[in-house]
Amino acid sequence: MKTTQTPAPVPAGEPGAAGPSAAPAGPPAREKKEGTVLNVFSHGILVIWAIMVALPLVWAVMTSFKDDRSIFSSPWSLPDTLHFDNWSRAWTQANMSDYFLNTVLVVGGSLLGTLVLGSMAAYVLARFEFPGNRFIYYLFVGGMSFPIMLALVPLFYVVNNMGLLNTIHGLILVYIAYSLPFTVFFLTAFFRTLPTSVAEAAFVDGASHTRTFFQIMLPMAKPGLISVGIFNFLGQWNQYMLPTVLNTDPDKRVLTQGLVQLAVSQGYKGDWSGLFAGLVMAMLPVLAAYIVFQRQVVQGLTAGALK
Amino acid sequence: MQHGKYRFIVGFLAVPLGLYALFVIWPFIQSIYYSFTDWTGLSPEFEMVGLANYERMLDDDIFWKSLQHSLLFALLLPVVTIGLALFFSFMINVGGRRRRGGPAITGVRGSSVYKIVYFFPQVLSIAIVALLFAFAYNPDSGAINSLLRGIGLGELQPLWLGDPDLALWCVMAVLVWSTTGFFVVLFSAGMASIPAELYEAALLDGADRVTTFFRVTLPLLWDTVQSGWVYMGILALGAESFAVVQIMTTGPGGPDYSTTVMVLYVYQKAFRDGQAAYATTIGVALLVVTLAFSAVVLRLGRRERLEY
């Protein structure tokens, strides 16, 4: 990477060689110096930050292939041999496979539920006028700005009284409820931008409202659904606070919870290499998904904040 | 489009609204009510005690400590994160030198790679990030201290999370690490929609990069910066700080409550100490702080909207 710009002697008066600093109005010598110093400095910071971001991840992957002794004696050295047994031990003995399955079930159910229920509510709020429309909209949207922790204490007892504590479907319902504010907010804005004429034509042709929605409007809303879907997928996959409170059964743990528990218990057992393997295992699917769907992920995550 | 309209509306709204009311709105209202009781959370009986919980809170040293830490999170973290992100995204989008034949306004070389790498931490769970850094901070065998030994700074072996003066800063650094990339991408998207002519005009007038940033980029990006600011503040007061503090620091809450934040204190009072009513009282205080924070940022940040 180009971190240093050699201050090669630029022939005086050559235009456009140094970007903004070569603006015709300024005295060339001073401008050039400012440009070079700033360039070296800021390129340096960009590279340092890139290293700071990548290094912990590389370190984790490296560590997951080492044996316990070398993790402690020389944390930065490369593994002597690739200890794949760490990975198989984490997958089977440390229950990572169960945590994965639980997470997939919970996130799969909640994502589907969030998208279906969220788009239903958003569609009605965006396209129909009825008394209370604004009130319900703000009731949903208001949920984005208040601290979840406040509701968590009574929520625990609500979920408990319904017999949903420590169940996968209970967790799914709660995830959906807490994903609705942003989903409704985002999709309401999206449905407003879709043309009315197609839906009206379908309705005139005798399709019911419900049919119009599922067969005409939902397919048209696909780009919006993908964006908000990615946003919710990452949020729900990475959720830690809700399962920590609502899901204390060891068999029902999701990935994040399972790993934290593992870290606590492995501290006594001393299987650090297995824990690192588990950690990397949990990171890999999202990192891989991010690299493949980079553009959509970025759009999905930033779309809401920009609108 | 009138036929069956209301039946349709009710049918479509009932389930989402019902779930939302049951799991979000209702607990939220209940928690304010519970803050006036002596409910333990362990038994169904409780009595109204008026403002007793609030009086207790005002005398609670740990509460004040947690409030102080939470305020520090909410004020300092956005400044650092958004400051870094503004610098990075400006360099990535506008800071480049003009290459012959290329567009006048361009990012530094390799900017697309930077954008991808910087965003990495954002897709990782904050719980996983916290675990990873808890290992890195380990004073004996952690990555950071052995790196210090490796480059000849062996004398310098801080206890990091074990040092009451350092622990809070260590935790905050992790949040900066994990969120900066998101704002780089967010601000990059905002900068991409600023018309190039504005930059070209600034260039023709002889503006250097610092001037360009403060006179052109920042004013036009202000709305995005502001909503990012509120978003970051809410994160720093809520879920994110809960995960890092609960997972990374001993106790949890750090040596001598040095890293206890309000969300963690709510959690501990409710689910560890069996003081559900008192926990909700601290929760109400957290709500007040969050709302006040958003209001102050939106108020201070108000300026004339720039159209372009």
| Residue in B with minimal Cα distance to A281 | B128
Q: Please say whether the beta carbons of B196 and B104 come within 8 A.
A: yes
Question: If you ran DSSP here, which 8-state letter would residue A78 be given?
Answer: P
Q: Is B278 on the interface with A (CB under 8 A)?
A: no
Looking at residue A36, its pLDDT comes to 67
Of A153, A157, A283, which is closest to B283 when you measure between CB atoms? A153
CA dist A303 and B227 (Å) reads 13
Looking at residue B51, its pLDDT comes to 92
Looking at residue A25, its pLDDT comes to 40
pLDDT in tens, B211-254: 888 888 898 898 889 888 888 888 888 888 898 999 998 878 88
pTM of the complete model: 0.85
Q: Do B280 and A150 touch (CB under 8 A)?
A: yes
Of B16, B120, B267, which is closest to A149 when you measure between CB atoms? B267
Query: What is the CATH architecture of A91-306?
Result: Orthogonal Bundle (1.10)
Provide the chain B residues 63-92 that lie in CB contact (below 8 A) with chain A. Answer: 84, 87-88, 91-92
pLDDT in tens, B164-218: 888 999 999 999 999 999 999 889 888 888 888 888 888 888 888 888 888 888 9
Q: How far is A43 from chain B (nearest CA, A)?
A: 8
Closest by Cα among A300, A89, A282, A190 to B127: A282
Q: How far is A23 from chain B (nearest CA, A)?
A: 5
CA dist B46 and B90 (Å) reads 57
Burial B94-127 (b: 16+ CB within 10 A, else e): bbbbbeeeeeebbbbebbeebbbbbbbbbbbbbb
Parse chain A into domains and list their residue ranges.
Answer: 37-83, 91-306
Q: Is A293 on the interface with B (CB under 8 A)?
A: no
* Ranges in chain A, pLDDT < 50: 1-31, 307
Ordered per-residue pLDDT tens for chain B, 308 residues: 556 788 889 999 999 999 999 999 999 999 999 999 999 887 878 889 989 999 999 999 999 999 999 999 999 999 999 999 999 998 888 876 655 555 666 777 778 888 889 998 988 999 999 999 988 888 877 788 888 888 877 777 888 888 888 899 999 999 999 999 999 988 988 888 888 888 888 888 888 888 888 888 898 898 889 888 888 888 888 888 898 999 998 878 888 888 999 999 999 999 889 899 999 999 999 999 998 998 888 888 776 666 55
Maximum CA extent, chain B = 80
Q: Is A165 on the interface with B (CB under 8 A)?
A: no
CA-angle at A248, arms to A242 and A253, nearest 5°: 75
CA dist B233 and A169 (Å) reads 32
Q: Please say whether the beta carbons of B283 and A147 come within 8 A.
A: yes
CA dist A185 and A138 (Å) reads 9
Of B185, B203, B231, which is closest to A298 when you measure between CB atoms? B185
| Residue in B with minimal Cα distance to A25 | B206
Torsional sign, CA B117, B119, B123, B128: positive
Q: What are B250's two structure tokens?
A: 């001993």
Tell which of B70, B92, B97 to mutate to test the A interface (max A CBs under 10 Å): B97
Q: Which residue ranges form the domains of chain B, and what is each CATH number?
A: 1-25 (no CATH), 59-299 (1.10.3720.10)
Burial of A131 (0-12, 13-18, 19+ CB in 10 A): exposed
Looking at residue A35, its pLDDT comes to 60
